[in-house]
Amino acid sequence: MLDVPLLIVGQSCPAHDGRTFERCNPVTGEVVSRVAAATLEDADAAVAAAQAAFPAWAALAPGERRARLLKGAEQLQARSGEFIAAAGETGAMANWYGFNVQLAASMLREAASMTTQITGEVIPSNVPGCFAMALRQPCGVVLGIAPWNAPVILATRAIAMPLACGNTVVLKASELSPAVHRLIGQVLQDAGLGDGVVNVISNAPADAAAIVERLIANPAVRRVNFTGSTHVGRIVGELSARHLKPALLELGGKAPFLVLDDADLDAAVEAAAFGAYFNQGQICMSTERLIIDRKVADAFVAKLSAKIETLRAGNPDDSESVLGSLVDVGAGTRIKALIDDAVDLGATLVIGGQLQGSILQPTLLDGVTDTMRLYREESFGPVAVVIRGEGDEALLRLANDSEFGLSAAIFSRDTSRALALAQRVESGICHINGPTVHDEAQMPFGGVKSSGYGSFGGKASVEHFTQLRWVTLQNGPRHYPI
């Protein structure tokens, strides 16, 4: 069992009142981690620690910040085994956590490369003798709230660019992957970033709302970023607006995967299976809607069904398991209800749908219509639905018939045709002849509509994690009207 204390001012410490909570393996029920349950006083202490550390961290030369972040990336990779050992918190496969560590290390390296790329500009002034500048400076304390589904990637993303921009951070760990999020903080502490530069607090599930509100309301917190569900994102956005804190929100998705009538079906099937079922579909970019031209739909469904037969979900410790577990039994119950609703209303269950505890076999449904919940609701599980249309315009209308707009994909042998469609898909991200699940540290990552606003990733996030200021220098006398 893993012991998970808070990380405040570089020190491991229990909750103020000594309370803890436990996180159990969703497959076996065994306790994986015993976790400090932060109080409101602990939330205040974490922000105070970050605030105290801010002047020194912000004043560091960019080359020194870069060196420390690069050391953090090296240590993150070197401790990959420790992260994989905590995979039982979410029931994920070891290869998913290994991939998480590699991409998270890349994010730290990309952030390190950006420390000297935070630039301003000189702007001509109409006032004689006035030299005017637009400067980007660190904001102060940044609050990062990260989810459990890609725990190393998304928690690292929540803090890497804020740190590169000269801010200090408080990371609020997910209640479902607290050991992993705490370990990220420890890695960066051990890499020598400095006491209080990175602080990590965990909380019991029942305390989440109070802790988040306390953190956002703290005057020292100047920026907020949140990755998670649209439901919770709306709450975080409202709280941030109430306290006049800019928030970057990366929320839910219902990614459309368009297959045009000239697509390479074999390539499309491989990308669709990966996008829909990797990590049990518990990825914000997961392929949920397969929008297929009628001319090729039957062939595509047959090929994809054959591919799905090779994908078995099960206990990650079972060598025959290709896919792992859902995050908990409740997720399985919720997703099964969506499947049953679609079937009851006339959809065809092509393959899958078997549920045992937190293990749900990869599922494909055909004939899904807008009367069914699965047409619009994010399943966040290993479920993809086939929606048929005739011609590119019909496929585009179906793709955009969603409140979400995070990731999308289009498959066609005619790349000009696909690019013309991609520019009209209502999503923050669109891949041509590639899967909807694709992330790189240097790329702008964000959604539109109910998938949130703002972008993570390299240069795209500098605007959010810095304060733009206007500074003037008056050379010589100036005329005043009074």
Catalytic residues: 250
The CA distances from residue 313 to 27, 352, 440, 455, in Å, are 12, 10, 27, 33
Tokens read off for 252: 């839910």
Instruction: Calculate the CA 249 to chain-centre distance.
Output: 9
Tokens read off for 441: 């540290």
Contacts of 108 (CB under 8 A, 6+ apart): 69, 70, 72, 73, 76, 156, 160
The CA distances from residue 399 to 116, 258, 375, in Å, are 40, 8, 11
Is residue 278 within 8 Å of residue 311, measured between CB atoms? Answer: no
Nearest to 350 by CA among 291, 388, 306: 306
> One-letter amino acid identity for 411?
F
Beta strands in 20-145 (DSSP E): 20-24, 31-36, 121-123, 130-138, 141-145
Rama region for 88: left / alpha / beta (φ>0; ψ in -120 to 50; rest): alpha
Instruction: Please give the Cα distance from 274 to 276 (Å, whole number).
Output: 6
H-helix or E-strand spanning residue 334: helix 329-344
User: What DSSP letter does each residue of 440-471 carry, written as one string?
Assistant: -TTS-B---GGGEES-BSGGGGHHHHEEEEEE
Other beta carbons less than 10 A from residue 478's beta carbon: 10
Is residue 383 within 8 Å of residue 290, measured between CB atoms? Answer: no
Other beta carbons less than 10 A from residue 129's beta carbon: 11
Is residue 26 within 8 Å of residue 90, measured between CB atoms? Answer: yes
H-helix or E-strand spanning residue 199: strand 198-201
